[in-house]
Chains A and B, each alone.
Chain A
Amino acid sequence: MLSIITGVLYTAGVYLLLRRSLVKLILGIIFLSNATNLLIFISAGMTEGKPAFVAKEGAEQTGQMADPLPQALVLTAIVIGFGIVAFTLALNYKYHKQTGTYDLDQVKETDKV
């Protein structure tokens, strides 16, 4: 089920990236970012309602706890993703402000021979 949601998010991200709109480009990147995070999270296996808190000297119950490592990874990835999205947003905003273009098909000046 969650795998399918991940797939849906990927599909949405890819679809948005293939649009011509600058805004949709950013939306697409956000979707892909979320999808990837979710993928990491679920592919490591999930445990319901057992956060990885270790009570004092309570090491014997660790077997059933949720795997904390992927959570840490995803957390890092989320934050990095945020930095990237913020920068991309600023970039596209700046570009739009400078040129007034919103259609990505117009963005091909630098590939002219």
Chain B
Amino acid sequence: MITALPILIPLMVVILLLMVGRKVYWLKLIGISGAFLLFLASLLIFYTVRQEGILVSQAGGWPAPYGITLVIDLLSALMLLISSFTAFLVGVYALKGIDEKRHRFRFFLFFHTLMMGVGGAFIAGDIFNMYVWFEVMVMSSFVLITLGSEKQQLEGGIKYVTMNLMGSFLFLAGIGLIYGKTGTLNLADLSMTVRESDQTFLMNSSFILFFMGFGIKAAIFPFFFWLPSSYHTPPVTITALFAALLTKVGVYGMIRFFTLYITDINPFWQNLLLVLAALTMVIGVLTAASQYDIRRILSFHIISQIGYMIMGLGFYSAFALAAALFFMMHNILAKTGAFLVGGLIQEKTGSFQLKSIGGLFKEHPWLGLFFFLPAMALAGVPPLSGFFGKFFLIKGGFEGQHFLTTAIAIWVSIVTMFSMIKIWNEAYWKPAPKDLHQPASHPLRLKRTMIVPVAVLGFSTLLFGLSAGWFMEVLQEAAQVLKQPELYIEAVLKPV
């Protein structure tokens, strides 16, 4: 039963939210309690998976591969844990960070449908079901990104929607073709079929569709254009939520598929992954360096850092895989934290534009610290989480003798440092520009519910870094499961 909680809890919350209509107080109360409950459930699930191994539940009681199977292995459990943790913090921030109007139009409802989609995608053991949850997630994100109907939002929304739909279509087409060839939808069954068949290479063309479907969602090169066009348009709370979850679900999908189906990775896939990863890293980081809007700098960096994760997948050793997962989790924490601090900066100064703000460090040293932690984590400064992510990836890369890609990753991390320092320099160190007086509507004291999540995220990058060893142990275990799909297959298909 607890296997289905990541879907059931948001479902329950959504129903409750529907019942209270547009009463903002209740929407907030139920919304945030639901997010907390989801986090607790994820903790419980993680604990159970650690104790008992892969959790499998057959929806409706139909045996696999015929019914829909929900599977939570260590990877899923970790993803659930970190995403619900971050989402909860973003939820707390949203209490004040999202305006009343958007709350009235059910921000929290879409928040929870999004979580439902994300949770569903993490636990689906069935490829079509995974598609359905992807759609739930994507549809929620469509609404969230346009929630407020401001011109910029609509415009970003059009691009976001169109290109994400392409991803969905490709994914769906891939499912149809795979079913046509193998006659099954169950991930484990499918993996077994592919393994037992000597015609695996015939699958490659269908996998291309999956690869591109996930690639669009994960925003890798050359499919990332939707992200920088749209991520800076909604309120920063929503961007933070997206940064934490959406692209990472795409990466999750890719990792899941590659480990289940591309068993002994062939040069075609490996080269494709590594080349695209390198291009994604480089182009993302370069475009970020040229920006002057905090949100856009951070958005472009999402792309660059997705490149790191794909690179880890491309190295394809268990260690590199674990490193990629570690990097992903670090990124969820740090990126969300950085975006939310961006929100605080905007609250204080009224702008995201680096050229029109400044002098923050003199007056708000704590705000400085809260930015410094996630920003330096992103730049990979020890002992914050980003350093360990980078270190593990370098190690994985050298172990596999992928010297060039690894060298590119190292170079990219310096440019990342440069971008982060640029924000620091312009927003915090530089004296506030004199000719631009700060808007009078913004001298307000920052709300505690906005500061606390930011502080928690900032310090969590430190804690995550300091306990990197423990996490890496768990992740290597998770990667072992990924590298040996037999375990997964056996858990799912074993007779009840």
A–B direct contact (CB < 8 Å)? yes
Q: How far is the CA of A77 from the CA of B142 in the complex (A)?
A: 18
Chain A residues closer than 8 Å to B143, beta-carbon distance = 87
Chain B residues closer than 8 Å to A92, beta-carbon distance = 158
Taking a contact as CB atoms under 8 Å apart, the answer to whether B152 and A110 are in contact is yes
Partner of A113, one of B135, B151, B291: B291
A94 is an interface residue with CB less than 8 A from chain B: yes
Flag the segment in B73-81, B165-173, B392-400, B473-481 that touches A.
B165-173
How far is the CB of A8 from the nearest CB of chain B, in Å?
Answer: 15
B180 is an interface residue with CB less than 8 A from chain A: yes
Q: How far is the CA of A91 from the CA of B153 in the complex (A)?
A: 10
Taking a contact as CB atoms under 8 Å apart, the answer to whether A77 and B172 are in contact is yes
B200 is an interface residue with CB less than 8 A from chain A: no
- Chain B residue, CB-CB nearest to A72: B128
Q: Which residues in window 159-187 of B have CB below 8 A to A? A: 159, 161-162, 165-166, 168-169, 172-173, 175-177, 179-181, 185
Chain B residues closer than 8 Å to A76, beta-carbon distance = 128, 132
Taking a contact as CB atoms under 8 Å apart, the answer to whether B152 and A109 are in contact is yes
B58 is an interface residue with CB less than 8 A from chain A: no
Chain B residues closer than 8 Å to A109, beta-carbon distance = 151-152, 155
Interface string of B30-54 (1 = CB under 8 A from A): 0000000000000000000000000
B119 is an interface residue with CB less than 8 A from chain A: no
A84 is an interface residue with CB less than 8 A from chain B: yes
How far is the CB of B422 from the nearest CB of chain A, in Å?
Answer: 14
- Chain A residue, CB-CB nearest to B206: A43
Q: Which residues in window 70-87 of A have CB below 8 A to B? A: 70, 73, 76-77, 80, 83-84, 87
A111 is an interface residue with CB less than 8 A from chain B: yes
Q: Tell me the dominant secondary structure on chain B's binding face.
A: helix
Partner of B233, one of A104, A107, A110: A110
Taking a contact as CB atoms under 8 Å apart, the answer to whether A39 and B162 are in contact is no
Taking a contact as CB atoms under 8 Å apart, the answer to whether A87 and B139 are in contact is yes
- Chain B residues with a Cβ closer than 8 Å to the other chain, count: 40
A45 is an interface residue with CB less than 8 A from chain B: yes
B146 is an interface residue with CB less than 8 A from chain A: yes
Taking a contact as CB atoms under 8 Å apart, the answer to whether A73 and B179 are in contact is yes
- Chain A residue, CB-CB nearest to B145: A91
Q: How far is the CA of A83 from the CA of B158 in the complex (A)?
A: 16
Chain A residues closer than 8 Å to B172, beta-carbon distance = 36, 40, 77
Q: How far is the CA of A36 from the CA of B79 in the complex (A)?
A: 30
B348 is an interface residue with CB less than 8 A from chain A: no
Taking a contact as CB atoms under 8 Å apart, the answer to whether A113 and B292 are in contact is yes
Partner of A43, one of B132, B162, B165, B177: B177
Chain B residues closer than 8 Å to A40, beta-carbon distance = 172-173, 175-176, 179-180
Taking a contact as CB atoms under 8 Å apart, the answer to whether B154 and A29 are in contact is no
Q: How far is the CA of A83 from the CA of B161 in the complex (A)?
A: 13
How far is the CB of A105 from the nearest CB of chain B, in Å?
Answer: 12
- Chain B residue, CB-CB nearest to A77: B172
Q: Which residues in window 262-310 of B have CB below 8 A to A? A: 290-292, 296
Q: Which residues in window 26-65 of A have CB below 8 A to B? A: 29, 32-33, 36, 39-41, 43-45
How far is the CB of A91 from the nearest CB of chain B, in Å?
Answer: 6
Taking a contact as CB atoms under 8 Å apart, the answer to whether B229 and A95 are in contact is no
Q: How far is the CA of A50 from the CA of B5 in the complex (A)?
A: 39
Taking a contact as CB atoms under 8 Å apart, the answer to whether B139 and A113 are in contact is no
Partner of A39, one of B142, B156, B157, B177: B177
Chain B residues closer than 8 Å to A29, beta-carbon distance = 162, 165
Taking a contact as CB atoms under 8 Å apart, the answer to whether B151 and A99 are in contact is yes
Partner of A91, one of B161, B176, B232, B296: B161
How far is the CB of A52 from the nearest CB of chain B, in Å?
Answer: 15
Taking a contact as CB atoms under 8 Å apart, the answer to whether B176 and A17 are in contact is no
- Chain A residue, CB-CB nearest to B136: A80
Taking a contact as CB atoms under 8 Å apart, the answer to whether A94 and B149 are in contact is yes
Q: How far is the CA of A84 from the CA of B158 in the complex (A)?
A: 12
Given A87-B142, A88-B161, A110-B230, CB of A32 within 8 Å of CB of B155: no
How far is the CB of B239 from the nearest CB of chain A, in Å?
Answer: 13
Interface string of B321-363 (1 = CB under 8 A from A): 0000000000000000000000000000000000000000000
How far is the CB of A12 from the nearest CB of chain B, in Å?
Answer: 14
Taking a contact as CB atoms under 8 Å apart, the answer to whether B176 and A94 are in contact is no
B91 is an interface residue with CB less than 8 A from chain A: no
Taking a contact as CB atoms under 8 Å apart, the answer to whether A73 and B128 are in contact is yes
Q: How far is the CA of A77 from the CA of B290 in the complex (A)?
A: 41
B458 is an interface residue with CB less than 8 A from chain A: no
Chain B residues closer than 8 Å to A110, beta-carbon distance = 152, 155-156, 159, 229-230, 232-233
Q: How far is the CA of A40 from the CA of B159 in the complex (A)?
A: 26
Taking a contact as CB atoms under 8 Å apart, the answer to whether A36 and B176 are in contact is yes
B228 is an interface residue with CB less than 8 A from chain A: yes
Taking a contact as CB atoms under 8 Å apart, the answer to whether A95 and B165 are in contact is no
- Chain B residue, CB-CB nearest to A80: B135
Q: How far is the CA of A25 from the CA of B161 in the complex (A)?
A: 11
> In this complex, which of A45, A83, A91, A99 has the most chain B Cβ atoms within 10 angstroms of its Cβ?
A91
Instruction: Please name 9 pairs of A and B residues whose Cβ atoms are closer than 8 Å in the assembled complex, sorted by A.
Output: A32-B165, A32-B166, A41-B176, A43-B176, A69-B185, A83-B139, A99-B151, A107-B158, A109-B151
Top 4 A-B pairs ranked by shortest CB distance?
A40-B176, A43-B180, A95-B154, A110-B156
Given contacts A88-B165, A91-B157, A99-B154, 18 further A-B contacts (CB under 8 A): A32-B166, A40-B172, A43-B180, A70-B176, A70-B179, A80-B132, A83-B139, A87-B143, A87-B161, A88-B161, A91-B146, A91-B161, A94-B154, A95-B155, A104-B158, A107-B155, A110-B230, A111-B228
